[in-house]
Amino acid sequence: MAKPRGTERTVDAAELHTRVSELLAAHPPGDSPPDGFLRARFDAGLAWVHFPEGLGGLGAPRSLQPVVDAELAAAAAPDNDPRRIGIGLGMAAPTILRYGTEEQKHRFLRPLWTGEEVWCQLFSEPGAGSDLAGLRTRAVREPGGGDWIVDGQKVWTSSAHTARWAILIARTDPDVPKHQGITYFVCDMTDPGVEVRPLRQITGEAEFNEVFLTGVRIPDAHRLGEIGDGWRVAQATLMNERVAIGGMVLPREAGMVAGPAAAWRERPELRTPELHDRLLTAWVDAEVARLTAERVRQQLAVGSPGPEGAGLKLTFARLNQRISGLEVELLGEEGLRYGNWTMVRPRSVDFYGRDAGYRYLRAKGNSIEGGTSEILRNIIAERVLGLPAEPRTDKDAAWKDLPR
């Protein structure tokens, strides 16, 4: 069980080193099944060291997580394939930790972290993407305080075709303003009322999906937060999502800038003074973004992410699109090639993989997924810079009375 408040103790790097050594001695990576090793790592408190004891952590400073990760990587220990389970790690887990009951935390966090259960996010809808609070998916509770019955449609759902669970927001009260009548749930993706259909992208693959919910039964025990308080819970998810996307841990000259930087060094025949200036500017901007993301991750050690994550996500999209376009220009005709138009259903999101043509096309989605760049600019203007909010005529009207 998680440690009660008031009984916290200090965990330092020396203790973490000891715990890592004990884990490796009891479960040698070369001799242990990966799933078994990951479960043992979670139980030893070395999954998320800043999480409470009993929930994959030790209540240690978040800044010590790299110490654990580096030692385990040096020992060739298996990881949990974070790209495949990124939605669970970056969005579902911090929301469950903050708003879940003790039963929910103990039920969901361990298989989420080990990758035994993949998660997806059922938020956006046709007609309710940028204006997420306008969502139409309904959850109606059975008489006598029974289960919730959910009907509606969600869209742009990454990993829905591989997910076991979903974080879901639905309208539970249409008679109040749209931000007040939303409730947050955990949805079982194996329910017979859940239908997942692929959405083919410009890259030719289908990592996104549309999801149809027809009479999906969700027990009240799978509700996160209070009834009608789903918007506040969802904000915690969205802020973590923006940091998860825009604040990825990357070494210097990694990510989108790696391709054109390598081409510049290895292909001198491609060089021109104009492209040199543009590449150097992009390299500097990418490094500034990387260091800023590191600073935001350090701030997370003392609290939850705030609106600054919107800046990270906005910069991530802008840089990726600019640098991927530069790479295509740098490579000339070769940059126009695209290696594979085959319809595939990837198990994970890949922002940087494959060839330059793929990266150029895939980057177009960066300014939409995880919050559109237009919405993120509003968040930065209002919540970071303190500028006046845009005039809104629908904030106090009941959702049912809003024009469709």
Q: What is the mean pLDDT of residues 384-398?
A: 84
Q: Give me the residue label for tokens 């029974």.
A: 146
Q: What is the mean pLDDT of residues 323-334?
A: 90
CA distance 75 to 30: 9
* Alpha carbon distance 205, 216 (integer Å): 28
pLDDT value of position 305: 64
39-73 residues labelled b (16+ CB within 10 A) or e (exposed): bbbbebbbbbbbbbbbbbbbbbbbebbebbbebbe
Q: Is 389's pLDDT higher than 90?
A: no
Q: Which of 371, 377, 321, 331 is nearest to 355 (CA)?
A: 331
The pLDDT of residue 6: 41
Domains and CATH numbers, the chain: 7-79 (no CATH), 119-228 (2.40.110.10), 234-384 (1.20.140.10)
Mean pLDDT score, 201-226: 94
- Dihedral angle over CA of 36, 41, 42, 48, nearest 10: -140
Single out the residue of 134, 130, 141, 86 nearest to residue 112, CA to CA. Answer: 86
338 has a pLDDT exceeding 80: no
- Predicted confidence at residue 3, as pLDDT, reads 45
The total number of residues written for the chain in this structure: 404
Given a contact cutoff of 8 angstroms between Cβ atoms, the answer to whether 293 and 222 are in contact is no
pLDDT of 1 > 80? The answer is no
pLDDT for 148 beyond 50: yes
* Higher pLDDT, residue 303 or 219: 219
**pTM attached to this predicted model:** 0.88
Task: Return all residues near 117 (Cβ < 8 A) that are at least 6 apart.
Answer: 88, 108, 111, 164, 165
Q: Quick check: 21 pLDDT over 90?
A: yes
The per-residue pLDDT for 304 is: 61
Rounded average pLDDT over 181-186? 98
Are 140 and 162 in contact by the 8 Å Cβ rule? The answer is no
Please count the helices (runs of H) and the strands (runs of E) in the chain: 12, 8
3-class DSSP state for residue 245? Answer: helix
More confident residue, 404 or 375: 375
pLDDT, mean of residues 332-341? 78
What single string gives the DSSP state of each residue in 372-390?
-HHHHHHHIIIIIS-PPPP
Reported as a single tens digit per residue, the pLDDT across 62-90 is 889 989 999 999 999 999 999 899 999 99
Going by pLDDT thresholds of 50, 70 and 90, the confidence category of residue 52 is: very high
More confident residue, 339 or 170: 170
What per-residue confidence (pLDDT) applies to 256? 93
pLDDT in tens, 93-146: 999 999 999 999 999 999 999 999 999 999 999 988 778 999 999 999 999 889
Phi, psi at 120, each rounded to 5°: -135, 175
CB-CB neighbours of 341 under 10 Å? 9
Band of residue 247 on the pLDDT scale cut at 50, 70, 90: low
- pLDDT tens, residue by residue, 26-35: 999 989 899 9
DSSP single-letter state for residue 3: P
Catalytic residues: 241
User: Does the pLDDT at position 349 exceed 90?
Assistant: no
Asked if 309 contacts 296 with a C-beta cutoff of 8 angstroms, the reply is: yes
Least confident range from 176-190, 226-240, 353-367: namely: 353-367
Could you give the dihedral angle defined by the CA atoms of residues 344, 317, 378 and 241, in that order, rounded to the nearest 10 degrees?
Answer: 60
Does residue 340 have a pLDDT over 70?
no
The two tokens of residue 133 are: 């609070």
Which region holds residue 56: left if phi is over 0, alpha if psi is between -120 and 50, else beta? left
308-333 burial, b for 16+ CB within 10 Å, e for fewer? bbbbbbbbbbbbbbbbbbbbbbbbee
Please report, as a single letter, which amino acid is at residue 364: K
Could you give the maximum distance between any two Cα atoms of the chain, in Å? 75
The phi, psi pair for 198, rounded to 5°, reads -75, 150
**Which two tokens mark 317?**
């999209």
307, pLDDT greater than 90:
no
**Does residue 301 carry a pLDDT above 70?**
no
2 or 42, greater pLDDT? 42
Name the helix (H) or strand (E) containing 283. helix 273-299
pLDDT mean across residues, the chain: 89
